[in-house]
Amino acid sequence: MNANDGSATKIADLQDRWSSDSGGQKRPTSVDGLALCAGLTVARFSASDLLLDVDGGATLEQARDAAAANGAYFPLLAAPGDRSIAVLASTHPLFVDGFVSHVDAIDLQGRDVSTPAAPRSAQGPDLLGALLCRPPLALCARARIRCASMTTMSMFHVQTQSADEAAAAVLHLVREAHAFSVWAQGTVVTLIAKEIPKALRPMAADDVAFGVPAAAMGGAMLSPFHLAPMVAALEEGAGIAAAPQMGRVSRTTAATSSPLVTAVDAAEAIHAGLVQGAQESQW
């Protein structure tokens, strides 16, 4: 774990408490247990790789501020700033699948679990999503998050006339794969990119009511090039988040808290999910 000294000590303490049967502290049973980590902050920003190392207990606001202080955009454009990175990771699969490149986590038995370092690998199954998403297998102690440079990219807003047009704009951006991050709500599409595609009409930033809906905390993945589910999401008042360079799209849902589970329980749940998936699929 590449934690700085203060963080490393705190995480080690946390790990000791979780792994000790006789410890005075109760073992956390959900990612809300990450409140134990509150106060840990941003550890490192790599200007070369545009990667932000941030503790799981840090809030989104802290992470955004840290990225901005280093001249970079934090990838997720809309999510409540008071939530921790660990909570966000447990409820928002697009954040994990599209923007987290590496994680150091601690499982319920107090064991370290680290995923391969950036950028990409073929070192067997990728544990990233299974570790952090529902039901989480481990607490996110440190996440390495992909950011974009403010010197080469900017934030743009696009006004469309309808949900259909907004969804079509998202689809266009995901297919082109140039934009770093996209957020659509109603008829407005916001993107971080080098430039705005010719096909899209920009609007002044002052005109944009760029709120942060509470519902933005939860997410469900969509088929990335399928327009109809995107239109439906926007018409239902949901937001759409996308990671075009990874070809990932999701819609917002209500966030639900999930209990942490052990590896054995998780394996049972995973198997049940896969078998149920087979029973319900149209293959």
Partner 1 sequence: MLENVAPPSTDAIAQSDRPLDRRMVAHDLWPRRNLERREGEPPRLPARVFWPETTDEVSAVVRAAKATQTPIVPFGAGSGVCNGIAPTARTWMLDVKRMGALIRVDEHASECVVEAGMIGERLERALNAHGYTLGHFPSSIYCSTVGGWVAARSAGQLSSHYGKIEDMVLGIEAVDGNGDRIVANIDDPKTGPGLLRLLIGSEGALCVFTRVRLRIHPMPTHHWLRAFQFESLDRALSTMQALMQMGECPSVIRLYDPLDTIIAGALEPTPDAPDRILAGAISQARQEYSGPVQEDDDGFVDDVVRRIEQLAIFQRPKTTRRVVGQLLSRPLIANAALDRMGSQSKLVLGFEGSGDALADRVGGIRRKVIALGGMDAGPDKGEQWLLHRHRVSYKMARTFAVGGWVDTMEVALGWEGVLPLYHGVKDALRDVTLTMCHFSHAYPDGCSLYFTFAGGGTAGSGTRSARARYDLAWERAMLTCRRHGANVSHHHGMGRSKAKAQPRTGGEAAILNALKQRLDPANILNPGVIGLGESA
> Which 178-207 positions form the footprint of partner 1 (CB under 8 A)?
178-180, 193-194, 198
Q: Does 35 bind partner 1 (CB under 8 A)?
A: no
Q: Between residues 151 and 207, which has the closer beta carbon with respect to partner 1?
A: 151
Q: Which stretch binds partner 1 (CB under 8 A): 33-41, 60-68, 78-86, 144-152?
A: 144-152
Check the CA dihedral 66-69-75-80 and report its sign: positive
Q: Does 14 bind partner 1 (CB under 8 A)?
A: no
Site for partner 1 in 152-171 (CB under 8 A): 152-153
Q: Between residues 86 and 105, which has the closer beta carbon with respect to partner 1?
A: 105
What is the nearest approach in angstroms of partner 1 to the Cβ of residue 193? 6
What is the nearest approach in angstroms of partner 1 to the Cβ of residue 93? 5
| Whole-angstrom Cα Rg for the chain | 19
**DSSP string of 46-87, one letter each residue:** ETTTTEEEEETTSBHHHHHHHHHHTTEE-S-SSS-TTSBHHH
Q: Does 146 bind partner 1 (CB under 8 A)?
A: yes
CB-based contact 31:90 (threshold 8 Å): yes
Site for partner 1 in 206-225 (CB under 8 A): 220-225
Max CA separation in the chain (angstroms): 63
Check the CA dihedral 120-122-123-126 and report its sign: positive
Q: Does 257 bind partner 1 (CB under 8 A)?
A: no
**According to CB under 8 A, which one of 119, 205, 210, 254 is a site residue for partner 1?**
119
Site for partner 1 in 82-101 (CB under 8 A): 93, 96-97, 101
CB-based contact 211:151 (threshold 8 Å): no
Between CA 130 and CA 208 the distance in angstroms is 36
